[in-house]
Amino acid sequence: MNDLPKNILATIVYYDVLDYPMTAFEIWKYLLKIKNEENEPEEKNNLLDIINYLEKEELKKFVEEYRGFYFLKGRRELVDRRLESNKISEEKLKIIKK
């Protein structure tokens, strides 16, 4: 059985607790692997697999997308907060480099 949808959802839920919406690339890069009871070999997932599952209805019940970021339903404000934090970080990095 393919555990990829569960792993994607687990990753989004984990980062949602940290108030951090994620891009598809970040989900792929930091994908949490939920261990099942069977000793199946760990399969490698590619970015396209992640993107395809993010578009399927089984995840859309729990996950929304806005401006390229994925988050749990009802948490859209996290995207604007993250974008604002990124701007502030860039400004601070410019000051540090001077």
- Please tell me the distance from the alpha carbon of residue 91 to that of residue 51, in angstroms, as a whole number: 31
The model scores a pTM over 0.75: yes
Nearest of 69, 29, 18, 21 to residue 7 by alpha carbon: 29
Which domains are seen in the chain, by residue range? 4-97 (1.10.10)
Q: Exposed (0-12), middle (13-18) or buried (19+): which is 54, by Cβ within 10 Å? A: middle
Task: Express each pLDDT in 27-63 by its tens digit.
Answer: 999 999 887 666 566 677 899 999 999 999 999 999 9
